[in-house]
Amino acid sequence: MADLSTDFVGIKSPNPFWLASAPPTDKEYNVRRAFEAGWGGVVWKTLGEDGPPVVNVNGPRYGAVYGADRRLLGLNNIELITDRPLEVNLREITTVKRDYPDRAMIVSLMVPCEEEAWKRILPRVEQTGADGIELNFGCPHGMAERGMGSAVGQVPEYIEMVTRWCKQTTRMPVIVKLTPNITDIRHPAEAALRGGADAVSLINTINSITSVDLDAMSPEPMIDGKGTHGGYCGPAVKPIALNMVAEIARNATTAKLPISAIGGVTTWRDAAEFMALGAGSVQVCTAVMTYGFRIVEEMISGLSDWMDDKGYAGVDQIIGRAVPNVTDWQFLNLNYITKAEIDQEACIKCGRCYAACEDTSHQAIAMSADRVFSVKDEECVACNLCVDVCPIEGCISMRELQPGEVDPRTGKTVEKDYANWTTHPNNPGNTCAAE
């Protein structure tokens, strides 16, 4: 069987599946049950310093976006960091880590952007025996208005400064959690690296309002007639997270910076995709809040079976494997040409492909009087829209034209790949980027 154990910046865990800092990791009771279910690690819900207590709303904290079958696609939350006393959290972390020494125990932290505040809390966390800390520079609501969370994560200079304070104060590995509410994720990642970060984790939640109550005329979730922006997570944010992880992994400056990936991980396949783009561990939240802790059993078995089938002995053989194939648009090969093909036996004659192509694309699908749909090769630009809207998986596929074939749309013979990328028409600047 494939070896799923991981060593992430010196933090060992039996598998790469960690629970993200969130309600599922808010207390000892939850974390013990998570470890019993098989989770490889947890990031304890964000702790703050002693002082005035954090007070959460006593009303709805979540808003949701559903698919047509009411499957949860996205979750918006307005919950703050832990509202439990710091001393209670630290005592529970100590006890759980003692009883589960083989599991990764990371503690998420958020305190004011003052050096003394960080110096006060770090030794107390270190005494718990925790394996590392995660600096929460990502939370976009509630705490950001107080100069913490994403208010720090959106300013690279602050990221570098606070990271350096922590590295000078603690022996524990420092993971910097990045906010996606920024134009270019590479800048905060580079700042974390300059500050000495051992790793980064991303993405945190996306600033959002998920819906509006049209009777009360208020954003949801609604508290006494009012609503506010919150943090968006779940399957819907996975494409955004994948791109940001890839941007860090393929950036020359941060290419070797370890990444813990977060954002819509629901299945083993989601996790494998993040690892292929450079993640050394994956963190899960919304899927657990939807299906419960035991979802990790399917993640473990699914990843293990896939790795066995592909011949991967350990997760290190997956991490970053897809990064070399992530490129910029200008370097895509224009000599690669495909055409749509419809499997008539699988077709249910719903007409979605025809409607989509005829009304919004290239009028490349014909419909006969008896509703038989066929591709007009001379019009097909291989945009893939028909494949995406077809309700039957595998009914429509894209066939690659081979060198020597004639493209019916252009009348040109398909050539081999460009041997000299300096003359590639997508690269008019004549800069060599083949490597």
| Angle, alpha carbons 327-329-335 (nearest 5°) | 100
Neighbouring residues of 378: CB distance < 8 A, sequence distance ≥ 6: 408, 409
Name the catalytic one among 139, 166, 353, 357: 139
**CA–CA distance from 355 to each of 363, 365, 426 (Å)?**
9, 9, 31
Report the interhelical angle of 295-310 vs 28-37 (nearest 10°): 40
The residue assigned the tokens 């009914």 is: 395
Phi and psi at residue 145, to the nearest 5°: -65, -15
Cα–Cα distance for residue pair 343/396, rounded to 1 Å: 6
Which helix (H) or strand (E) element contains residue 428? Answer: none
Q: Give the residue among 26, 4, 176 at the shortest CA–CA distance from 96.
A: 26
Angle between helices 28-37 and 86-99 (to 10 degrees): 20
Of 137, 126, 129, 209, the residue nearest 167 (C-alpha): 126
Give the whole-angstrom CA distance, residue 277 versus residue 258.
11
What is the three-class DSSP state of 231?
A: strand
Tokens 């979802």 locate to: 295
Query: What's the distance, CA 334 to chain centroid?
Result: 30
Please tell me the distance from the alpha carbon of residue 420 to that of residue 16, in angstroms, as a whole number.
41
Q: Going by C-beta distance under 8 Å and a sequence separation of 6 or more, which residues neighbour residue 43?
A: 18, 19, 20, 21, 25, 106, 107, 108, 134, 201, 283
Q: How far is C-alpha 139 from the geometric centre of its chain's CA atoms?
A: 15
User: How is residue 237 written in tokens?
Assistant: 């944010």
- Does residue 383 have an active-site annotation? no
Strand partners, 279: 259
Q: Which helix (H) or strand (E) holds 277?
A: none
Give catalytic residue positions: 139
